[in-house]
Structure 1
Amino acid sequence: MKKYAICGVSNRAIGMFIRPIVQHFSSENEVVALLDADPRRFEVCRQAHTEMENVPQYLPKQFNQMVKETNPDIVIVASRDDTHVDYILQALQKDLDVIVEKPMATTAEDCKRIMDAEATSKGNVTVTFNYRYSPIHTRIKELILEGKVGRITSIDLNWYIDTYHGSSYFQRWNRMREFSGGLSIHKSSHHFDLINWWTEQTPVEIFAFGGLYYYGDEGPLNPKREDGRHCSTCAVRQNCDYYTRWNTRTRSEKIKDDHLGTVEVKGTKGNYTNYRPDQCIFDSEISIEDTYTATVRYDKGALLSYSVNFSVPYEGYRLAINGTKGRIETTEYHAPNRVPFPTPQQTIDYFPLFGSKETIHVVHKEGGHGGGDPVLLEDLFLGVDPNRPYPILSGSKDGANAVATGEAVWRSVKENRPIKIKDLLNVNMPQSK
């Protein structure tokens, strides 16, 4: 029986880890401790899953006490992004394994601290990059491994976040760089990890442009220059296009989203303590960007042209991978219930350099992140699938490369110069254990 301590009893922790453990993997796994700064989160967790009723609860300063009293094998870190590093380092110091939500940390410097600690610990770090597990993404990996595209030379990836999902980041703590690292880390680390994994190449140098074009007090759709508003009580919300797009005058719409509203508990009232997910997207304190374009150079010669926009009419991405033998293309429309037009089922188009196009239909699966979450959870709680012929779980090196690329993006925007990954990580990347 493996024992888990949960650090950060967030919606993500409850929906992604606690719920599957108690509902599907309880024969071999159990939660033995909950740790969070907000006791209200313990209450919500208990109401969501009565199995947590007698699980001991701890505050952040009681980490050592938690480990001593509950003796966990693995620490799951799903707290606010900037706190990940503290829990990971404490766990590694005690030779415990760690499962951490992406991003592994919010700065390359903290990623370096984690890798250094892991190198001297008996514990190992696993980063839950669930986008790798989507059936479309694993099939792309397989096509590359089969040699369909040959040596990868360039990648085009354009990611679109719709006005519902995109604006949500600017209503929450994510909008402050000191908490999230910015969206080039919190969100784009997913995307950069996919490219690193597909290509088996390491990012070397980045140049980027970007800015805050939609949100913040200078946002062109700001109905009134005034800080401190909240959507639930805002006097001008009916003049806000972002609000009226997703809400009527009398009620908020129930919108399906992989990232928001994970936990629905009957009988719970109010928000978490000191947590407001409806802060105004036009506040002047917003300190991150909402749009990026970037060029990334990799150690084996591949070039990535990347863009992401957090205020688009629909959600999804367009991908092209070019190589010496062919090209892969795919387009995804995410959250079709939020797309204002009919969307086709996602397929993969393969174009040999000389020959006829092939369209590949992939078996789609239920579950979050394109069906990736359930497969990731099986690897975490049952062990890695022995029939899969390639590695897929991510380690600290993967987490560091993704975070460092994201940091290089926003630093390049701010400093108007190319940024080298080795300068951010300050050393050559260590070999994974």
Structure 2
Amino acid sequence: MKKYAICGVSNRVLTMFIGPLVNEFSRGNEIVGLLDADPLRFQVCKEKYPSLIHVPEFLPEQFEEMNEQTKPDCIIVAGRDDTHVDYILKALQHNVDVITEKPMVTTAADARRVMEAEADSEAEVVVTFNYRYSPFHRKIKEMILEGKLGRITSVDLNWYIDTFHGSSYFRRWNRDRDISGGLSIHKSTHHFDLVNWWLGQKPEEVFAYGSLNYFGPEGELNPQKVPSRFCGTCDVQDSCAYFRRWNPRSGSSQVRDDHLLAGVFEEIPYTSYRPDACIYDEEIAIEDTYVAAVKYDGGSLLSYSINFSAPYEGYRLAINGTKGRLETTEFHEPSRIPFQYPEQTIEYFPLFGARETIELVKNPGGHGGGDPLLLEDLFLGPDPARSYPILAGAEAGAYSIAVGEGVWRSVKEKKPIKIEELLLPSKIAGQLNG
């Protein structure tokens, strides 16, 4: 029986990990401990999964006690981003394996600490980059491995986050860079990892522009400049376009998401935290719009952009190589798209030849069908029928974070940022900073 301890009893961990471990993967797996800073989260978890009623509960400062009492084989880290590093380092110190949500940590310096700790440990870290598992993303990887595109010269990736999902980051703790690393880390690490994995190359340098265009006190749609409001008690709801788009006056919930609250009228299952802060608050100091260029050690170039207040959710991708080009467009969250849109395909254009349209069988499940396949690899072992590695480790997590940090640092410092300088070994970095 493999024993798991949960570090961070978040909404995400309830649906993505605890539910499957209690149900589909209960044979051979057991949850032996719950750790969180908010005891109310234990109640929420056990009401949802009554079979865990006798699982012991621990506060963050009791990690050593939890490890000694429950002796987990693996911890699952899925709490607030800034808490990840402490749990990961402590687990590695005790030779306990780690499964962590992205981002692995919130800074490149902490990413290096994790890689160093893993090198000194008998345990290993897995970062749950579920975007890799989408059938379209796996097919793109396979086409590159087969050489259909030749040597990759450039990638164009434009990502769009809709007004529901995008605004949620500015209502919640993600708005604080010290906690989340900013959205170029919290969200864009998904995208940077995907490109890093497709290319099989390491990023060398990044240059970026970014700004806060939609949210914060200067947002053009701010109905009134008032500090520290909350959506659930705000008296200008009827004048807020973002609120009115997703929350009818009746108070009923219109939309669902696996890791967001459906609406601000729901009961808030936290002791001293509200996920409905005003998206126009004065303390918001992260960016909601980025464009970036990334250079890779194999010669490939990435042109990337992301917008956190778009009319729909999805992305447009093009990959160019010495033998051809592919293009694909994906629309996410169909329940939130108010117009007809085409089914996703991959369009392949050989440099000399006829265009091919590739249609794929879609998997059920979250994140384009990626979540169920990721869970199978985590809890049943990597699929032996797959001819290439897909689970991400600490190094992949680190390089995705370093690109994300490079993006916001480039915005602030107005210069290109060298990735390896962000990932310098801790001893060398300390000497240079000293």
The TM-score bracket by the shorter chain reads over 0.9
TM alignment of 1:2-41, pairs within 5 A: 2-41=2-41
Asked whether the equivalents of residues 15 and 258 of structure 2 are also in contact (C-alpha less than 8 Å), the reply is no
Q: C-alpha displacement at 1:287, in angstroms?
A: 1.8
Distance in 1, Cα, partners of 2:273 & 2:145: 45
Instruction: Tell me: CA distance 1:261–1:234, structure 2 relative to 1, closer, same or farther (3 Å).
Output: closer
* 1:285 alignment partner in structure 2: 283
Distance in 2, Cα, partners of 1:129 & 1:14: 17
* 1:317 alignment partner in structure 2: 315
Give structure 1 stretches of 5+ with no counterpart. 263-267, 429-433
Q: C-alpha displacement at 1:252, in angstroms?
A: 4.0
Distance in 2, Cα, partners of 1:186 & 1:270: 23
TM alignment of 1:371-386, pairs within 5 A: 371-386=369-384
3-state DSSP of counterpart to 2:207: strand
**Pair 1:358 & 2:342 matched:** no
TM alignment of 1:388-427, pairs within 5 A: 388-427=386-425
* 2:206 alignment partner in structure 1: 206
Root-mean-square deviation over aligned CA pairs = 1.3
Asked whether the equivalents of residues 258 and 369 of structure 1 are also in contact (C-alpha less than 8 Å), the reply is no
Q: C-alpha displacement at 1:419, in angstroms?
A: 0.2
3-state DSSP of counterpart to 1:118: helix
3-state DSSP of counterpart to 1:273: coil
Distance in 1, Cα, partners of 2:273 & 2:130: 26
3-state DSSP of counterpart to 1:170: helix
Asked whether the equivalents of residues 201 and 296 of structure 2 are also in contact (C-alpha less than 8 Å), the reply is yes
Distance in 1, Cα, partners of 2:140 & 2:256: 27
Give structure 2 stretches of 5+ with no counterpart. 427-434
Asked whether the equivalents of residues 246 and 252 of structure 1 are also in contact (C-alpha less than 8 Å), the reply is no
* 1:123 alignment partner in structure 2: 123
* 2:327 alignment partner in structure 1: 329
* 2:183 alignment partner in structure 1: 183
Deviation digits for residues 309-337 of structure 1 (CA, Å, limit 9, x no counterpart): 00000000000000000011100010111
Which amino acid in 2 is paired with 1:158?
N
Asked whether the equivalents of residues 153 and 301 of structure 1 are also in contact (C-alpha less than 8 Å), the reply is yes
3-state DSSP of counterpart to 2:66: helix
Asked whether the equivalents of residues 44 and 269 of structure 2 are also in contact (C-alpha less than 8 Å), the reply is no
Which amino acid in 2 is paired with 1:278?
D
Distance in 2, Cα, partners of 1:111 & 1:252: 42
Q: C-alpha displacement at 1:58, in angstroms?
A: 0.3
3-state DSSP of counterpart to 2:231: coil
Distance in 2, Cα, partners of 1:425 & 1:157: 24
Q: C-alpha displacement at 1:256, in angstroms?
A: 2.8
Distance in 2, Cα, partners of 1:185 & 1:251: 33
3-state DSSP of counterpart to 1:277: coil
Deviation digits for residues 381-432 of structure 1 (CA, Å, limit 9, x no counterpart): 001101100000000000000000000000000010000001111149xxxx
3-state DSSP of counterpart to 1:232: helix
TM alignment of 1:248-263, pairs within 5 A: 248-261=248-261
Q: C-alpha displacement at 1:66, in angstroms?
A: 0.4
* 1:77 alignment partner in structure 2: 77
1:347 paired residue among 336, 345, 348: 345
Asked whether the equivalents of residues 204 and 420 of structure 1 are also in contact (C-alpha less than 8 Å), the reply is yes
3-state DSSP of counterpart to 2:316: strand
TM-score, normalised via structure 2 length: 0.96
Distance in 2, Cα, partners of 1:355 & 1:335: 35
Asked whether the equivalents of residues 160 and 316 of structure 1 are also in contact (C-alpha less than 8 Å), the reply is yes
3-state DSSP of counterpart to 2:75: strand
* 2:53 alignment partner in structure 1: 53
TM alignment of 1:87-236, pairs within 5 A: 87-236=87-236
Q: Which stretch of structure 1 is more off in the superposition, 253-262 or 236-245?
A: 253-262
Distance in 1, Cα, partners of 2:396 & 2:219: 35
Which amino acid in 2 is paired with 1:231?
C
Distance in 2, Cα, partners of 1:13 & 1:87: 15
Which amino acid in 1 is paired with 2:190?
H
3-state DSSP of counterpart to 1:123: coil
Asked whether the equivalents of residues 41 and 269 of structure 2 are also in contact (C-alpha less than 8 Å), the reply is no
Deviation digits for residues 59-78 of structure 1 (CA, Å, limit 9, x no counterpart): 00000000111110001100
Deviation digits for residues 152-196 of structure 1 (CA, Å, limit 9, x no counterpart): 000000000000000000000000001100000000000000000
Distance in 1, Cα, partners of 2:141 & 2:226: 48
